[in-house]
Structure 1
Amino acid sequence: MIDLAIDGAVAEITLNAPDKLNALSLDALDELDAAYTDAEASGVRALVLRGEGRAFCAGRDIAGVDPETDDVPAYLGAVERVMRRIASFPAPTFAAVHGACLGVGLGLAIATDVVYVADTAKVGSPFANLGALLDSGGHALLYERLGAHRALDLIYTGDLLAGAEAVAAGLFSRALAADEVLAFTRERAAVAASGPTAAFLASKRLIARLRDERLWDAVTEESRGQEALRATADYREGFAAFQQKRRPEFRGE
């Protein structure tokens, strides 16, 4: 479900499971990690990440996941590994985001250098409907860009931000019409690939040093918190309700 194409100096990685809104299983995360490794080995000077179909990435693929036996640390460990791979990619990286950008999808965007979003994209944390914890670095992003009150408002309600609103709030780089996002992202990646990429990487390393302590500490704490929540009745109810396509009945325990 992960495709890698290389055109000259630019690599393009596509999340290609449109029937699942590009939701990612553990195997898909391994494929994604391998795609970034292959792109790095090719020596490209810029990279584009995109999703096929109606969404960028709707988060984790939890179809068939049993919360009683779910190996949360293994899954979130793979998410962190992929995010670190993206963040440390030795060339400018760009994401073209449309449709749903949730959970793990949000984490992929967080780890990417520059994110262009469709003005109608849906960005945020639907975890209030799962009895689970926002993960993939979401706490660090929302707190840093929106402040504590707005971050907790979105977490408590599960409300999603439209792409244009997310850009206005400072989450991402630029919002465009949905039918323009991919072409614009590809064009910007091609421009970056023809530029002084050694200088760009020096800036990337400096920005990473300023960002990383808060981001990776948050990712670690999110993983611990998610594993702790797995033992709760609400977590089991949230997963069951999602899989059965019904409204969950939470009890706060």
Structure 2
Amino acid sequence: MSGGAVLLERDGAAAVVTINRPERRNALDGKTKTELRGALEDVAGDDAVRAVLLTGAGGAFCAGQDLAEHAAALRADPAHAFDTVEEDYAPVVRLLATMGKPVVAAVNGTCVGAGLALALACDLRVLAEDAVLGTAFAAIGLTCDSGLSATLTRAVGEARARELVLLAEPFSAQQAVAWGISGQVVPREEVGAAGRALAARLAAGPTAAYAASKRLIAQSWERDLGATLAAEAQAQARLGLSGDHAAAVEAFLAKRRPTFEGR
């Protein structure tokens, strides 16, 4: 896709999804949310895509919901103004968090509200050194959506999450990493290249193992130790029959770099 509110391109075995409303700091209106969901569905279902990079055009990653559109929705029909949370945001976050391939967020600038939630739904992050992040919701009298109450708490801990959500003060990329929002901090002009390099590295890796690891980590919050050990054993047994595992063991013994095919 090209020329729309969301751009989708292939970069080798990786797909690059770009929110393309730089004049609005990549704020999410109805069209953008629909196109973003469609692009993520496309890459999630494409076996030729082995990793995904999510970023924003221009100087912002994503400023969250387009408040001009939201204000119009409130004036027109306040009872349904928040239908978009379940109809649009939840499916997008679910796709990012659960697709069977790694997803990298290249946070090239402003990353607030639902934009922060999108970045945290990704598996890995590359952050511009001058990026500004924030929860933003309390500043307009709202609470978290798009999974932020869970992803932020798991990243930074409950006490810090309460502080960031209730005070809604912006924070820097350096603070984000220090607090536990894992990521690589690079100069702004290097974010795109660093994000693509990381996506390419993951695309060349054992993608079946990545998918299993994503599931285990996500489900670990709901399982006790016994159930976790059992789930890990089952996943290892499945992966142990894969061509990738057999080839990687032989490569290790032969002292050469393995080639992974994702099966």
TM range (shorter): 0.7 to 0.9
Tell me, yes or no, if structure 1 residue 138 matches structure 2 residue 148: yes
Q: 1:240 — aligned with what? A: none
Aligned mates of 2:66, 2:137 — CA distance in 1: 13
Q: What is the percentage of aligned positions where both structures have the same residue?
A: 38
Aligned mates of 1:212, 1:5 — CA distance in 2: 36
Aligned mates of 2:150, 2:81 — CA distance in 1: 20
Q: Report the 3-state secondary structure (helix = DSSP H, G, I; strand = E; otherwise coil) of the residue aligned with 1:42.
A: coil
Aligned mates of 1:183, 1:79 — CA distance in 2: 27
Tell me, yes or no, if structure 1 residue 24 matches structure 2 residue 28: yes
Distance 1:20 1:211, change over 3 A: farther
Q: 1:237 — aligned with what? A: none
153-162 or 92-101, larger mean C-alpha shift? 153-162
Q: Which of the two has higher C-alpha Rg?
A: 2
The CA RMSD over aligned residues, in Å, is 1.8
- Among candidates 94, 97, 102, match of residue 107 of structure 2: 97
What is the deviation of 1:63? 0.7
Distance 1:4 1:156, change over 3 A: same
Aligned mates of 2:13, 2:221 — CA distance in 1: 27
Q: 1:208 — aligned with what? A: 218
Q: 1:231 — aligned with what? A: none
Higher relative contact order (CA 8 A, sep 6+): 1
Q: 1:163-207 deviations in whole A, cap 9, x for unaligned?
A: 111011111322222122211110111111111111121111111
- Among candidates 59, 62, 76, match of residue 85 of structure 2: 76
* Stretches of structure 2 lacking an aligned partner (at least 5 in a row): 224-263
Q: 1:228 — aligned with what? A: none
> 2:19 is aligned with what amino acid?
L
What is the deviation of 1:62? 1.6
Q: 1:125 — aligned with what? A: 135
Matches within 5 A, 1:1-16: 1-16=5-20
TM-score of the aligned structures, taking structure 2 as reference length: 0.75
Distance 1:72 1:210, change over 3 A: farther
Aligned mates of 1:115, 1:87 — CA distance in 2: 13
Aligned mates of 2:198, 2:28 — CA distance in 1: 27
Q: 2:58 — aligned with what? A: 53
Is the CA contact (8 Å cut-off) linking 2:99 and 2:211 kept in structure 1? Answer: no
TM-score of the aligned structures, taking structure 1 as reference length: 0.78
Aligned mates of 2:222, 2:66 — CA distance in 1: 27
Matches within 5 A, 1:169-208: 169-208=179-218
Is the CA contact (8 Å cut-off) linking 2:20 and 2:26 kept in structure 1? Answer: yes
* Stretches of structure 1 lacking an aligned partner (at least 5 in a row): 214-253
Q: 1:239 — aligned with what? A: none
> 1:10 is aligned with what amino acid?
A
Q: Number of matched residues?
A: 213
Distance 1:83 1:63, change over 3 A: same
Is the CA contact (8 Å cut-off) linking 1:141 and 1:171 kept in structure 2? Answer: no
Distance 1:38 1:141, change over 3 A: closer
Q: 1:164 — aligned with what? A: 174
Aligned mates of 1:90, 1:177 — CA distance in 2: 30
Distance 1:212 1:85, change over 3 A: farther
What is the deviation of 1:129? 2.4
